[in-house]
Structure 1
């Protein structure tokens, strides 16, 4: 089924604001990321899930990142379970870490992997193992930033798992193409994105750029929503968090936690979540830039997630 009106279709994923829903039913997300040097990225990703409308968000981070992230917001549940290389035998420590994280997974609807993760070998190893645990539960996964390095090194980790979204920028997209044998001179951006998705077995790809090209290997959507002209770092982290919220809502949609007609096909949920996430993030960036101009920073973009969401999905009700 072709998606001719993706925003209208994506609106079906959004849970109602209803007294019949209890805490957690409108989305529980976990962000795997954060290291001693990078604490802002997982915070921006995690808090964006809540600003979008998810109920709860966990951050699973490296031990030295836990304190700073906790200090940024008391709304986040922070678990500093990850450890750096060298403390113990790599395999022994990795297994201990992953088993501890696995205990959290039954409480989570969707997983975001990568913001601020760093390239520490043990953190990357643990993240790959966590992805495998999530796949066993058919959990939606958003992979961004350093998490994409895992896929570049081992495309088989996510190949064929259609309940996932990858969010490469220009350089990450090129490296993913190299890793999967997709030749960059074989066509226009939307054709390359489709080929990359097909090479990965139908994983949804967001090829970020002046326009975001979104594809699951079959359908291609182009998000032409205007963004801000100040490209401050951290906007990709916001996108990953907004995506996490929509993917968590996709779980509620499939389980019929709230009443709906169930017209969306399962393989379209990631595609629509990706389009909706790009639309909200780009509009929030534009609104922040209109207010602050060159002084726009990521923290200021956060304040415009809710009005952007309202403009795109709830203006009629308002």
Structure 2
């Protein structure tokens, strides 16, 4: 299967123009579910990335122990408490009952502590039943979730280690072989796979796009959380997962390149947030 190298001319077709008369919420309503005792910053990075990528409303669901600090970090976040420190069946049920009914997309897993994988399956199923576009990352990438998302409009965003945990085999270093493996698992499961790396690979088993960024600075923690937020933002506007995921890796990579140009190899994930608007600027248009 032929893979295309992502370029701005391709990505421009994947990002819909903004309506000049649109109202609040019409440019995307996103849910972010993440965070744990150790990883408090991951859902904040994802949420702010979604906002920077043009989403109107982001609902950030974090463990109740992090609610005050998350709200204090940014007044732009709408914070929803998760009643337990980890995702349990009880906290999943309560979350399902309080999240907004009209969501466009959701991203789950960034720094998330999961006590019960049945709770994850419950949350995923409820969101898919509502026709919410879904992206899964980090701790949400477990093999038990594959039957729940098979043949659904879902994006999974693993790095190499998470890919092995999810699909049972490690991706090789060779880009051609790596691409073939991503294509196979995307096709077998009927989902879109976004394998992060020096060259990002995005495939739904039919279309495949490569994003050869090769940025040594982007190994820093948190850049994947930023990407998850951008993926959710793109999914809220474009319901074709392979196009949304491809535009997200392109924008995230451009933001990383701009951050590296400014700070060398000494960037932090929040630097990417600052450069997302500039990376998005070539695609800003109104109809």
TM-score by length of 1: 0.80
> Does structure 2 conserve the Cα–Cα contact (< 8 Å) formed by 1:230 and 1:293?
no
CA distance in 2, matches of 1:105, 1:9: 33
| Aligned with residue 156 of structure 1, among 147, 151, 157 | 147
Secondary structure at the counterpart of residue 250 of structure 1 = coil
Q: CA RMSD in A?
A: 2.6
Equivalences, count: 282
Deviation at 1:226, TM superposition (A): 4.9
CA distance in 2, matches of 1:51, 1:183: 33
Secondary structure at the counterpart of residue 83 of structure 1 = coil
| Aligned with residue 131 of structure 2, among 122, 129, 138 | 138
Counterpart position of 1:115: 110
Counterpart position of 2:203: 215
Deviation at 1:20, TM superposition (A): 1.2
Deviation at 1:177, TM superposition (A): 2.4
> Does structure 1 conserve the Cα–Cα contact (< 8 Å) formed by 2:112 and 2:139?
yes
Change (3 A) 1:174 1:14: same
Change (3 A) 1:280 1:98: same
| Aligned with residue 281 of structure 1, among 252, 264, 270 | 252
> Does structure 2 conserve the Cα–Cα contact (< 8 Å) formed by 1:145 and 1:168?
yes
Secondary structure at the counterpart of residue 101 of structure 1 = helix
| Aligned with residue 98 of structure 1, among 93, 107, 111 | 93
Counterpart position of 2:166: 176
Matches within 5 A, 1:284-303: 284-303=255-274
Change (3 A) 1:109 1:64: same
In structure 2, runs of 5+ residues without a counterpart are none
> Does structure 1 conserve the Cα–Cα contact (< 8 Å) formed by 2:182 and 2:195?
yes
In structure 1, runs of 5+ residues without a counterpart are 252-268
Structure with the bigger RCO (C-alpha within 8 Å, sep 6+) is: 2
Counterpart position of 1:263: none
Change (3 A) 1:184 1:281: closer
Change (3 A) 1:184 1:292: closer
Counterpart position of 2:23: 22
1:225-276 per-position Cα deviation (integer Å, ceiling 9, x unaligned): 453535210000010000101000025xxxxxxxxxxxxxxxxx11111111
Change (3 A) 1:296 1:157: same
> Does structure 2 conserve the Cα–Cα contact (< 8 Å) formed by 1:9 and 1:272?
no
